Structure 1
Amino acid sequence: MIQYRKILELHDEGISLRGIASSTGNSRQKVTEAIQLAEKKGIVCPLDEEMTDLWIEDFLFPEKSLEASGRQIMDFEYLHKELAKPNVTLSLLHYEYEAKSRADKKIPYSYRSFLRHYSRYAEKYKATLRIRRKPGEIMEVDWAGSTAFIIDRDTGEKIKAYIFVATLPCSQISYAEATLSMDLQSWITVHNNAYEYFGGVTQIVVPDNLKASVTKHTFTELILNPTYREMADYYNTIVMPARVRTPKDKASVEGSVGVISTWIIAALRNLHCFNIDELNEEVLRKLNEFNQRPFTRKKGSRFSAFEEEEKFALSPLPASPYKMSEWKSAKVRPDYHISTESMFYSVPYEYISKQVEIRLSDNLVEIYFNHMRIASHKRLYGRFGQLSTVRDHMPDNHKLFVDQTPEAAIEWAEEIGSSTLVVIRYILDTYKTEKQALQSIFSLKKSERSYTKYEIERACKMVIFITKRPSIKSIQTTLKNNKKNDAEQELKRNTESNKNNYGFTRGAAYYGGKTHDE
């Protein structure tokens, strides 16, 4: 048996390769190989008592124990790395191993033996076992059953604080945070903070069936809370709630909740904190101690297992954390506005009486119909009853009314003609108030529904020819009279035209024929 332990200890003392080879009776090549493999696999001095020469040989050369069987040797390092990749399973790797064995004309291990040998290797030498959980695949989340508390400085009253726990099953690392509520706002906030603590995002998040995460969950239907679903989309992860009354679906977090209740909540039972930030500082301190506690049956800790074997598999975080939005529903009012939080926002008038969904964020209000966005507004704050109205959402007749400004009135008059412009300028200059002038002009503008631009311009021209103080009423009267006169003249012309077209028929006597009297 090669003296692996002595080789590593002499190397740690700075003895040359030649000196080590001479002292142990091994070749320099063998000494070099043992030292290099030990450095690669993380064996460092001082060595534990259990690290005998046999243990070290088994660790450095696990394939040697398999060579005696005459079967195809398994590359455990390769298997462990491949199992970290998405969708790669031991059954696939065993299939590839069998194909390689046939190509090498060697006997492969059965799937059960293959599985047993890998499990033994991973449990002994690796921080994580990848048969059940892949790195970076799942984050399980829940509220702890036990609560902490903070103290009100004024009354001395103890106020409950709820502990959120998130666990990555592969490395068993956990995150914990105290909140004063278990509402949706707190639920989203602690998820953001958990992702930041882990430095990445898992492929799947497994919550319980809380109202903050699930609206409806039956055997045939799953409806997520809209805000929670939006958060998952933002982080490009998938929400897969645990089945109702099935704690095994998130066994890792269930176990972590119990341990954290002991190592964090119970450990802080005699500590008095006066606000939630103070409490969370203590929770974070205890959490880091918990994650860095050494495993009892293998080397390393939850934190080292995460850093070495899981962190690489997490998806990168977005540039900024998810900003929570709230979803509500409302019916579009007859004035084509929806009401939310005592503010009013317009939608296209075609959606009057329709039921729509409203997404509220800090700065934006978005309105959806059948999952299609139909309007968006800057969110209003301050006094109740404010309106945000988009002109394009109005019917045409409402647009006319809203567009009433002196500039718009003059622009309209210029399109009609010079006489109309004189009338409009006179009204704007002589009326006591601008609002009164604009109302009068608006009534004239409505005349376009019944009269042409030519008729309006002609009426204005006739009125200012008669008087230097034109009024809207006189123009409207002139329009009516002109319309009536034009109709009478048209009828007269048609009548005269018909008379001119009549002919005279000569009787039979004119042509020398007999009349009836004869």
Structure 2
Amino acid sequence: MIQYRKILELYDEGISLRGISASTSNARQKVTEVIELAKKKGLVCPLDEEMDDKWIEEFLFPEKSLEASGRQPLNFEYIHKELAKPNVTLSLLHYEYEAESRANNKIPYSYRSFIRHYGNYAQKYKATLRIRRKPGEIMEVDWAGSTAFIIDRDTGEKVKAYIFVATLPCSQLSYTEATLSMDLHSWIGAHIRAYEYFGGSTQIVVSDNLKTGVTKHTSRELVLNPTYKEMASHYNTIVMPARVRSPKDKPSVEGSVGDISTWIIAALRNTHCFSIVELNEEVRKKLVEYNHRPFTRKEGCRFSAFEEEEKFALSPLPDKPYMISEWRTAKVRPDYHISVESMFYSVPYEYINRQVDVKISDDMVVIYFNHMWLTSHKRLYGRFGQISTVREHMPDNHKLFVDQTPEVAIEWAENIGSSTLSVVQYLLDSYQSEKQALQSIFSLKKMEHRYTKYEIELACKMVLTMTRRPTVKSIQTILKNNKKKDAEQELNQNTETTDTNYGFTRGASYYGGKINVE
């Protein structure tokens, strides 16, 4: 047998490859192969007593023990690497292995032996065993049953803090944080920070059937909370809640919850924190220790297993993290506004009395009707009863009323004529209250629906020749009189035209009557 141990020890002492080859009677090519493979697999001096030549050979060349059987050797590195790819299974790899064996006129291992040999290899030499989980495929999430606490500075009372746990089953790397509530905002926020901690997202999220995330889950129907569903879509993942009363559907996080309850929650039992920020700083320190604790039955730790075996398989994070939002429904009031936390936001008046969907984030309120976007508003904060109104949402008569400002009134008058401008300017200057003046001007503007601009300008010109104190009432009277005079003149003109063109009247003499001449 090759003296593997001696080769590694001589190399560690700084002996040249030529000297090692001469000392062990092995070719320099073989010495180089052993040294390079040992570096690749992390086998360095000093070596433990149990690491004899046979142990080292099995560690560096596990396939050699199978070659003596005369069967097609197994390439464990290839199998382990291929299993990390999506949709690749041991069944597929065994099928390909059988085809290769027949092509080489070798006897293949049975499927059961194939799995057993790979399992022994992965358990002994790899951080993860991919028979159970694929890297980057699943993230399991849950709330821990045990709680932590913070101390209220004013009262000295203990305030409960709930512990969120997320685990990657392949590497067993976990993330945890404390929150003061188990509401939707805390649930979604914890997911976002878990993705940031892992540096990527998984294909699937397996959660419990919490009301904050799952609206309905039966054998026939699954309804997710709209916010939870939107968050999953943002990170290009899907949510698959565990079956009701089936903790085995998420065994990794269930096991991590127990470990975290011991190594983080219980470990902080004598630590006094006065805010959730302070508590999370202590939780993060314990989390680092937990993820770097060595495995008991194999080399490495959760963090090293993640770095080597799973990090590469995570999907990249979006450019921007998900902005937490909440979905609600609201009915449009008769004043074409909806109420959100005692603040009022307008929608197009055509949707009065309709039910709309409202998406609420920290800085925006977005309104939809039958999945169709209607409008967006910047979210209002502060005193209750504030109103956000978009002019385009108003009916035309409301727009006219809202548009009543001195500037708009003068601009309108200039568009009518100089006499109208003089009347408007007088009204603005004569009233003590600007609001009263604008109401009078508004009444004058409404006349534009019945009279032309020429008629209004003429009436203003006439009233200015009659008095230095024009009123809207007097202008209205002049407009009516002018309209009446115009109608009478038009009637007279029509009568004269008829008598001239169609004057075939027969006198009394035509019918035998007498004509009185006086």
Equivalence for 1:391:
391
Task: Give distance in 2, aligned partners of 1:342 and 1:30.
Answer: 79
Are 1:35 and 2:47 an aligned pair? no
Q: Which amino acid aligns with 1:359?
A: K
Equivalence for 2:401:
401
Q: Which amino acid aligns with 1:182?
A: M
Equivalence for 2:516:
none
Task: Give distance in 1, aligned partners of 2:54 and 2:210.
Answer: 52
Equivalence for 2:82:
82
Deviates more, 1:26-35 or 1:283-292: 283-292
Deviates more, 1:234-243 or 1:140-149: 234-243
Equivalence for 1:414:
414
Task: Give distance in 1, aligned partners of 2:278 and 2:407.
Answer: 60
Does the residue aligned with 2:446 lie in a helix, a strand or coil? Answer: helix
Are 1:381 and 2:381 an aligned pair? yes
Task: Give distance in 2, aligned partners of 1:149 and 1:401.
Answer: 57
Q: How does 1:10-409 map to 2 (within 5 A)?
A: 10-409=10-409
Query: Superposition RMSD on alpha carbons, in Å?
Result: 2.4
Does the residue aligned with 2:220 lie in a helix, a strand or coil? Answer: coil
Deviations 1:369-411 (A, max 9, x none): 1122211111112222111111011111111111111221122
**How many Å apart are 1:423 and its aligned residue?**
2.1
Q: How does 1:502-517 map to 2 (within 5 A)?
A: 502=502, 504=504
Task: Give distance in 2, aligned partners of 1:362 and 1:162.
Answer: 23
1:102/1:444 Cα in 2 relative to 1: closer, same or farther (>3 Å)? farther
**How many Å apart are 1:28 and its aligned residue?**
1.6
Task: Give distance in 1, aligned partners of 2:183 and 2:448.
Answer: 57
**How many Å apart are 1:37 and its aligned residue?**
1.2
1:262/1:506 Cα in 2 relative to 1: closer, same or farther (>3 Å)? closer
Q: Which amino acid aligns with 1:96?
A: E
Q: Which amino acid aligns with 1:429?
A: D
Structure 1 residue ranges without an equivalent (≥5)? 511-518
Equivalence for 1:513:
none
**How many Å apart are 1:278 and its aligned residue?**
3.6
**How many Å apart are 1:104 and its aligned residue?**
4.0
Deviations 1:271-306 (A, max 9, x none): 444443343333323222222222122111111101
Deviations 1:157-183 (A, max 9, x none): 333222211110000111222222222
Task: Give distance in 1, aligned partners of 2:103 and 2:470.
Answer: 106
Task: Give distance in 1, aligned partners of 2:72 and 2:453.
Answer: 96
The alignment covers a number of residue pairs equal to 509
**How many Å apart are 1:349 and its aligned residue?**
0.6
Structure 2 residue ranges without an equivalent (≥5)? 511-518
Task: Give distance in 1, aligned partners of 2:155 and 2:429.
Answer: 68
Deviates more, 1:78-87 or 1:146-155: 146-155
Q: Which amino acid aligns with 1:400?
A: L
1:86/1:337 Cα in 2 relative to 1: closer, same or farther (>3 Å)? same
Does the residue aligned with 2:358 lie in a helix, a strand or coil? Answer: strand
Deviations 1:421-466 (A, max 9, x none): 2322222233323222211111111112222222222222322233
Task: Give distance in 1, aligned partners of 2:93 and 2:6.
Answer: 37
Deviates more, 1:336-345 or 1:288-297: 288-297
Task: Give distance in 1, aligned partners of 2:110 and 2:458.
Answer: 102
**How many Å apart are 1:188 and its aligned residue?**
2.4
Equivalence for 2:515:
none
Q: TM-score, normalised by structure 2?
A: 0.92
Are 1:434 and 2:434 an aligned pair? yes
Does the residue aligned with 1:96 lie in a helix, a strand or coil? Answer: helix
Are 1:7 and 2:2 an aligned pair? no
Task: Give distance in 1, aligned partners of 2:41 and 2:125.
Answer: 9
1:76/1:464 Cα in 2 relative to 1: closer, same or farther (>3 Å)? same
Equivalence for 2:453:
453
Question: What percent of counterpart residues are identical?
Answer: 80
Deviates more, 1:375-384 or 1:50-59: 50-59
Task: Give distance in 2, aligned partners of 1:414 and 1:273.
Answer: 69
Deviations 1:75-94 (A, max 9, x none): 22122122222232223333
1:95/1:492 Cα in 2 relative to 1: closer, same or farther (>3 Å)? farther
Are 1:475 and 2:475 an aligned pair? yes
Does the residue aligned with 1:310 lie in a helix, a strand or coil? Answer: helix
Does the residue aligned with 1:136 lie in a helix, a strand or coil? Answer: coil
Equivalence for 2:513:
none
Equivalence for 1:516:
none
1:416/1:108 Cα in 2 relative to 1: closer, same or farther (>3 Å)? farther
**How many Å apart are 1:484 and its aligned residue?**
1.8
Q: Which amino acid aligns with 1:141?
A: V
1:216/1:271 Cα in 2 relative to 1: closer, same or farther (>3 Å)? same
Task: Give distance in 2, aligned partners of 1:26 and 1:175.
Answer: 49
Deviates more, 1:120-129 or 1:89-98: 89-98
Deviates more, 1:400-409 or 1:236-245: 236-245
